[in-house]
Structure formats: C-alpha cells, structure tokens
C-alpha cells in the first residue's frame, strides 16, 4: 500500500485547480519548463492552464497587446493533424519568456536603426533629428543637434521617434544629451523639464512607413494616430546639464514592433533672439538587445494590432545561414527572413556611415 502511495502522481491527489495555482507561483521560465517535463500529467496541467503565457505576461505585460501568436516553420506546413493551440502557445510563450530573461546579464548594445521623425524642427534640414545619432557636438566644423520649433508656452511638448534595429527588442536604458548653445550669450542649455518614453509599432505594415524628405514629411510620420504604443514609461526629470543623461527603466521593457518615441515634456530655456522657448538635443542612445530573428512581428491585423511570429528554426542558425536563400523554404519563412536580411543590411550601412564620419573627424 505504501508503494502505491509513493508511485501515485501528486497532481492526481490535489486536483488540477490546486495544481495550476501551485505552478502559477513559479517565477522563472526554466522552472516552469522543468515542471512540465516531470510527467505527462504535469505537462498537461502546465500546458492546458496556459501558465507559460501567464508567466510571460507577469514578466513583460506588453505581451498583452499582441493580438495573436503563430509559429513559422522553415518547411511548408505538413498535412498531418495539427497540434492543439495550447501546445503551440506553450512553446511560443515559454521561449519568449526564456529569451526575455536568459540574456539579462549580457551587456546592452545600441538599438537605434534610423530616425522616423520629429514633432517639429526649427531649421530643417540643418537642425534635423538625424544629428542626434552622432555623439559629437561639432561635425564638419558645424554644431550638430536637433532643435524644436519655438513656442510661447513653456509646457509645449516635443517628441523624437526612432526605428530600432529589430522587430522586437528588450530595452533597458535610454540616454539623452541636451544641447548647449556655445554660440549664444551665456551658453544656454535647451533641455526639457522631463522625459517619457513610449514603445510600440506603426499601425500599418512596415512597407507603408514614410521617410523624411522635408519638414512636412517629418511632422507627418511623427503623428500620434499612426502608432500603437504598447509600453509607456514613467516621467523622468532631466537635468539642465550638457551631459549624456541615463534613464534606466523600472524594468526591461519589451518593444513590440521596433518603434521608440522620446517625449520631451516642458521647456526651461528661452532664446534671446525671439523670446521663445526651445528644446534642443545633441545625442540619443537606446540600449538593449534584439530578440530577432527568433521572434518577429507582423502588423497584418485589420485594427493595426501586432502578430507575434516565432521562428524556432532560427534558433541554431548563424546569420550567414539565415541570409542564404532556399527554394524549399516556406513562403512565410522566406518573407520574414528577407525582412531580417533587410534590417541587417540597413544596420551595416549605418555602421559604415558612422565609421566614415569618424574617419573624417580624425583627418
């Protein structure tokens, strides 16, 4: 009789509801995966209760904004009987939660790919926000900074919107350096009072994004109604100092869709020439890490919501392998990898431009 008690599965004794409550207290993805590997009964409890998604939502609540999740295989889908939705979701969200926490000790890297647009620009394109991508205050013997348009209201906000180098990033920290106008009397610093950060995605497919051609385009692509924000940070006070100021987020934020907006709230400095308030930024950095190509995002939902795509076949492939075309690849795999290839090409171009700029400075 004692042997029978020892061999019985614990979950059969306490029941599925209590079992799910116990497993729901696990706070690390690896612990949940280990629990699911103990027995078929344990796995069924973890999978059918949706515990991997629940844990993922606790770690990064931004996941709640995802309209749907899908797995994209390299080979065309088979005609065999499909697995349950709960099994598929368990695999997707377990891997997403694992990717979110697994590399947390790895040093963050710069995540900005290019500028999308500014809410206003005083002297376009001389004072364009493109200048914020360069760390130096002087480029080719000219001051390098973005300047807002002037405003009579010291509370008038401004914003700078950037495209990150990945569909889905974990962002830890944003750094902003206000600009100090050494060419004006008393060397004023045109900082904002506070900053706030929004992350999300363009509501239309990526191909519909505009590029900055003139100031009208610059304002249009920055319009609030064009974006769906999935994360909004607290407000952080900004010092009126000419230094790269670090703003650490309360927790690493999941940027779903690869767009980040810096909101510059309130103005502190008037320009003597026209007695109007301005905000000027010299340099911006966004630090984090990419979760692509293991995870990608599509905006194909009619309401502009994001569709999370999980590519398990990309986990053990090198970048070189991913960049190779294969006629046997499924159409969706081919589409997503082609987009990843495009992001890599753009990042390489940006690095080349930065290197050429550094060489010019050293000459």
Does the CA dihedral 73-52-67-340 come out positive or negative? negative
- Burial (0-12, 13-18, 19+ Cβ within 10 Å), 354: middle
Average pLDDT over every residue of 69-81: 74
Round to whole Å and give the CA distance between 189 and 136: 16
Average pLDDT over every residue of 113-127: 90
| Confidence band for 351, pLDDT divided at 50, 70 and 90 | low
Tell me what pLDDT residue 199 has. Answer: 96
Per-residue pLDDT tens digits for 38-71: 888 888 888 988 999 999 999 999 999 998 999 9
Residue 362 scores a pLDDT above 50: no
**Percentage of the chain exceeding pLDDT 90:** 49
Look up tokens 């385009």; give the residue: 217
Tell me what pLDDT residue 353 has. Answer: 55
Q: Specify whether the CB–CB gap between 311 and 134 falls below 8 A.
A: no
Average pLDDT over every residue of 348-362: 52
Tell me what pLDDT residue 359 has. Answer: 45
Average pLDDT over every residue of 24-33: 88
Tell me what pLDDT residue 14 has. Answer: 67
Average model confidence (pLDDT) across the chain = 83
Per-residue pLDDT tens digits for 187-206: 999 999 999 999 999 876 65
- Give the residues across from 308 on adjacent strands: 69, 297
Residue 221 scores a pLDDT above 80: no
Tell me what pLDDT residue 321 has. Answer: 64
- Burial (0-12, 13-18, 19+ Cβ within 10 Å), 40: exposed
Q: Is the peptide bond prior to 293 cis by the omega test (within 30 degrees of 0)?
A: yes
Q: Specify whether the CB–CB gap between 213 and 248 falls below 8 A.
A: no
| Confidence band for 5, pLDDT divided at 50, 70 and 90 | very low
Average pLDDT over every residue of 211-215: 55
Tell me what pLDDT residue 240 has. Answer: 95
Average pLDDT over every residue of 74-93: 79
C-alpha dist (Å) from residue 213 to 132, 217, 253? 17, 6, 31
Name which residue leads in pLDDT, 105 or 288: 288
Q: Which of 55-59, 125-129, 324-328, 343-347 has the lowest mean pLDDT?
A: 324-328
Tell me what pLDDT residue 332 has. Answer: 81
Angle at 94 between CA 171 and CA 19, to 5 degrees: 125
Tell me what pLDDT residue 4 has. Answer: 43
Tell me what pLDDT residue 250 has. Answer: 96
Burial 120-144 (b: 16+ CB within 10 A, else e): bbbebeebbbebbbbbebeeeeebb
Tell me what pLDDT residue 207 has. Answer: 53
| Confidence band for 127, pLDDT divided at 50, 70 and 90 | very high
| Confidence band for 88, pLDDT divided at 50, 70 and 90 | very high
Name which residue leads in pLDDT, 220 or 307: 307
C-alpha dist (Å) from residue 276 to 122, 125, 182, 219? 12, 20, 18, 20
Tell me what pLDDT residue 298 has. Answer: 87
Residue 361 scores a pLDDT above 60: no
Two structure tokens written together for 175: 């750094």
**Percentage of the chain exceeding pLDDT 70:** 77
Tell me what pLDDT residue 313 has. Answer: 82
């Amino acid at each position: 009789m004692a042997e029978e008690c020892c061999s019985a599965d614990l979950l059969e004794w306490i029941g599925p509801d209590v079992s799910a409550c116990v497993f729901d207290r696990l706070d690390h993805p690896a612990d949940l995966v280990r629990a699911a590997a103990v027995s078929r009964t344990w796995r069924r409890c973890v999978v059918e209760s949706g515990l991997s998604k629940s844990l993922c939502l606790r770690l990064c609540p931004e996941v709640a904004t995802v309209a749907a999740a899908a797995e994209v295989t390299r080979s065309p889908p088979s005609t065999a009987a499909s697995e349950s939705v709960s099994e598929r979701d368990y695999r997707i969200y377990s891997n997403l939660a694992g990717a979110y926490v697994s590399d947390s000790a790895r040093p963050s890297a710069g995540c900005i790919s290019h500028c999308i647009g500014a809410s206003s620009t005083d002297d376009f394109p001389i004072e364009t926000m493109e200048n914020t991508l360069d760390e130096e205050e002087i480029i080719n013997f000219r001051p390098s900074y973005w300047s807002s348009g002037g405003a009579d209201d010291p509370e008038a906000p401004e914003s700078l919107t950037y495209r990150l180098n990945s569909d889905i990033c974990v962002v830890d920290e944003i750094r902003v350096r206000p600009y100090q106008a050494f060419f004006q009397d008393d060397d004023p610093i045109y900082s904002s009072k506070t900053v706030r950060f929004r992350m999300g995605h363009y509501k239309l497919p990526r191909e519909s994004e505009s590029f900055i051609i003139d100031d009208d385009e610059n304002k249009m692509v920055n319009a609030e109604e064009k974006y769906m924000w999935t994360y909004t940070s607290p407000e952080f006070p900004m010092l009126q100092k000419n230094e790269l100021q670090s703003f650490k987020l309360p927790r690493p934020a999941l940027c779903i869709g690869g767009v980040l907006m810096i909101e510059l709230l309130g103005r502190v400095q008037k320009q003597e020439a026209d007695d109007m308030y301005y905000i000027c930024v010299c340099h911006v950095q966004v630090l984090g890490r990419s979760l692509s190509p293991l995870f990608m995002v599509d905006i194909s939902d009619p309401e502009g919501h994001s569709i999370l795509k999980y590519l398990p076949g990309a986990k053990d492939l090198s970048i070189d392998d991913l960049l190779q075309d294969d006629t046997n690849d499924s159409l969706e795999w081919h589409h997503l990898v082609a987009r990843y290839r495009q992001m890599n090409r753009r990042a390489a171009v940006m690095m080349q431009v930065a290197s050429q700029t550094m060489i010019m400075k050293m000459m």
